Structure formats: structure tokens, C-alpha cells
Copies of this chain bind each other. A is one copy, B any other.
Amino acid sequence: MKASETVQVSIGDITRVATAALVQAGCDSGNASAVARVMAAADRDGCASHGLFRLGGYLASLKSGKVDGKARPSTKRLGPSVIQVDGHGGFAPLAMVDAREALAPLAREQGLAAAALVNVHHFSALWADIEPLVEAGLAAMCFTAYMPAVAPAGGREPFFGTNPMAFGWPRADGATIIFDQASAAMARGEIMIAARDGHELPPGVGVDGEGRPTTDPAAVLKGAQLPFGGYKGSAIALMVELLACGLLGQPFSVEAAEEDNRDGGPPRGGMLVLAFDPARFGDSDGWLAHSEFFLARLGALEGVRLPGDRRAKNRARIDREGTRLPAKLWAEAVRAAG
């Protein structure tokens, strides 16, 4: 993209404009600001595919009536170490705020606890969902499915969602190490960006509608993505379906697609969040120094980068300078904000 087709925007401005656009489209202020914050968090970390780029999808789902922009999540205890947060058909971010608030003290009390988010529409980056738990000193995992996009190993039809999972581990001084990765070889958002910008894909990312390997992002979006790492990534994608859908009583990716109205926004689904209190697993005094020692050794290896390193660098720079967005995307957002 030429510089003339982009604009430099601060994260504060992205948050304000996205919030206003969501309110214009029917969100109450709690939902609007929770959703705007997850988009802004992605742009802040240099992840355009989950940033303001998603606003159009959020707005479409409000306009079509698929998502209730005024939904109030409700929390209930399903067992001593399990809570369920029902989003009642709203976007995921506000339910995730409630889930974190209930899950953090429960994990400290129980040692290990789970939050089952149900009836939410999730369209954002998982690392931002778990980061506050990890900053609070908990280890966390998160799983969610989507709509069929990935062919299981050996197959050629989309069946699994992109099915991201995230894992976070607390570091000294409130820092974190978090990875967040789709079970697909490449995140669908990245393929959408490649299609928009006319870039070719690396091999192994997907097949076209006839099951033939291709590097054309538009063809992959019409065909099927492939899992990362062959049958092993395919097994991870299956695990995500069973944990985020089967376990929680939520639609599997194939079912989500059948009930979805195809408005371009996220389908209804579930999310599973696990939180571990490292102080309750047998090494209450030593775990932090021990893992810091290990991560320092890992980070010192030639050629090796810790997960989240690039995001942390982007964040420091973008907090100072703002981020470059396509001018068209920004103009549309400003227009939607009214």
C-alpha cells in the first residue's frame, strides 16, 4: 500500500472512533467500549487483521440483528471450579470482562478453574482476552472455534474453524509471555489482508475449491485452509472443537455455519478459558524465578524469539507513534462514528 493511501492514527483515536461507531449501530456503551478496546489492543500490538479491520464485521452483525449490542452477560457457578458466563447473544468482549473478574479469584481459591463462555460472538484476538489474567499472575489457556475454514489432515473440505488457542505465562514485574495461534497454517484474517492487498501466500496454507494446493488468497478463502503441521495441527484443531463447542454445549464450527446469517460478522459460539495459579501447584516460592531462568536461557539462543516479543516491540512503538491504517478503512470508521 502506498503511504498516500494510509493514515497515522493513535490508539486512543481508534478506540474513540470504534466506540462511537458501535454505539451508532446499536451497542450500549459497555458493549461498545469493550469491543472497541479489543480492536484497539490488536492495532496497538501491530496485528492489523484483528484490529479496526474488524469493525465492518461487528457493525454488520448489529445491523442484521444477529448480535444484540445491548446484551448483559450473566455468570453462574456450574461446579466448584467451573463458571459459565452466558453472553445472551452479545459480542464476546463484555462477557470476557465478566469471565476474567470471576475466574481470577476462583483460580486463586481452587488452584485451577475454568470459565465457559456461551452464546457469545467472538471476532477478536485471544491474547488480548487472556492478557489481564496473566498480568495478574495466573497462567491461562483459551480456546475458541469459528466457522468451517480448515480441512482436517487428509481431507479437502473446510470442516474445522480456524480454531485459535492461546497460552499465557506470567513473568516478573507483571510482564507476560503469551502465544495465540490459529490451528490453521495461517490466520484467516491474514489471508483476508493478503487478498485485500494482492499478496501471494506461502505454499501449504490452503487449497482451492477443487482441493488443489494454491498460493492465491482469494482461492483459499473460497476453498479450504490447511492446518499447521499436518495431522498434528489437525489434532489440535479437533481438540479446540471438542473443548470450546462439545464440552460447553455450543455449536461446532459446522453447526455455527449452518445457523449463521452470513452477515460478515462472527457466528454464535463458545469459548473456554482455563486459569492456573502457579503458587498452588507445588512450587509456590520458586516458580517465578525458575521459569525466568528458563525463559532467559531460551531467549539467549541464537535465532530464537520468545512468543509475543514482536507484539511487545510493536506496542512500545505504536504507543509513541500511533499506527498506520489504510485511509479507506479509517474514513469508513469515522463516517460510521457519525
Contacts and interface: CB of A to CB of B under 8 A. Distances in A.
Contacts of A112: 79, 81-82, 112-114, 274
A305 B298 CA distance: 36
B80 A248 contact: no
B78 A281 contact: yes
A81 B81 contact: yes
Contact of A157 (B233, B241, B301): B301
Contact of A155 (B113, B230, B247, B304): B304
Is the interface on chain A under 10, 10 to 19, 20 to 34, or 35 or more residues?
35 or more
Given A78-B281, A82-B111, A301-B157, A228 B239 contact: no
A253 to B, nearest CB: 9
Interface in A254-280: 254, 274, 276-278, 280
A294 B229 contact: no
A301 B181 CA distance: 25
A267 B45 CA distance: 40
Contacts of A157: 301
Copies of this chain, whole number? 2
Nearest to A280: B79
Interface string A176-200: 0001010001000000000000000
Nearest to A286: B249
A338 interface: no
Contact of A80 (B110, B229, B276, B303): B110
B228 A232 contact: yes
Nearest to A254: B297
A174 interface: no
A159 B247 contact: no
Interface in A214-242: 228-230, 232-233, 235-236, 238-239, 241-242
Interface in A87-128: 109-114, 116, 118
Q: 3 shortest A-B CB distances, which residue pairs?
A: A229-B229, A249-B283, A79-B111
Given A82-B280, A155-B302, 18 more contacts: A80-B109, A81-B110, A81-B113, A82-B111, A139-B242, A153-B304, A154-B304, A159-B298, A167-B235, A167-B239, A169-B246, A181-B235, A228-B229, A238-B298, A246-B278, A247-B276, A248-B281, A274-B274
